[in-house]
Amino acid sequence: MNIIIIEDDPNKLRQLEELVRFQLPQAEIASRRSYQSGLREVLRGLADFVVLDMTMPTYDVSPTEKGGRTRVYAGREILREISRRKIAARVIVVTQFETFGEGALKKTLAELRGELMRDFPGTYVDSVFYHPAQTAWRDRLAELCAELGEGVKRADQDSSD
């Protein structure tokens, strides 16, 4: 099983990797830290599922790179490319924001969840609200990882029969 985690915050990325490794110890996990590096990895078409941040920089931040502009809906853009290119990966969005955008483009997490369910059925699984001081996000992400892990196992068994 191949999993990609796309997350720019180092602490959140570490927590996500630990949780996914614990839930799915047999999985191969790749992590990326920006829209561009995450999209490149996803487009390789090797992921069974993706744990995806919604808001992130365009490029990986480094001592010589500030990351470019922040893409408020980077996760939605990656979902659009997955759908457009018919990549079979399932996607869980994990975000620490309750609202996105400004003015007329402003959406709550609940509104965004509904939009993603409508626009990306079969790819988008759910959104998890991340809060480092709470445990509800861990419980929900663990539940979703278990469900997706079982689905991948069944698909592998069906294809080998």
Domain map (residue ranges) of the chain:
2-160
Which pLDDT tens digit goes with each residue over 66-125?
A: 888 899 999 999 999 999 999 999 999 999 999 998 888 899 999 999 999 999 999 999
pTM: 0.91
Find out whether 13 and 31 touch, Cβ atoms under 8 Å. yes
Rounded distance, CA 32 to CA 11, Å?
Answer: 13
Of the pLDDT bands very low, low, confident and very high (cuts 50, 70, 90), residue 148 is confident
pLDDT digits (tens, 9 = 90+) for 19-37: 999 999 999 999 999 999 9
H runs (alpha helix) in 6-135: 10-23, 35-43, 74-84, 109-119
Class of domain 2-160: alpha beta
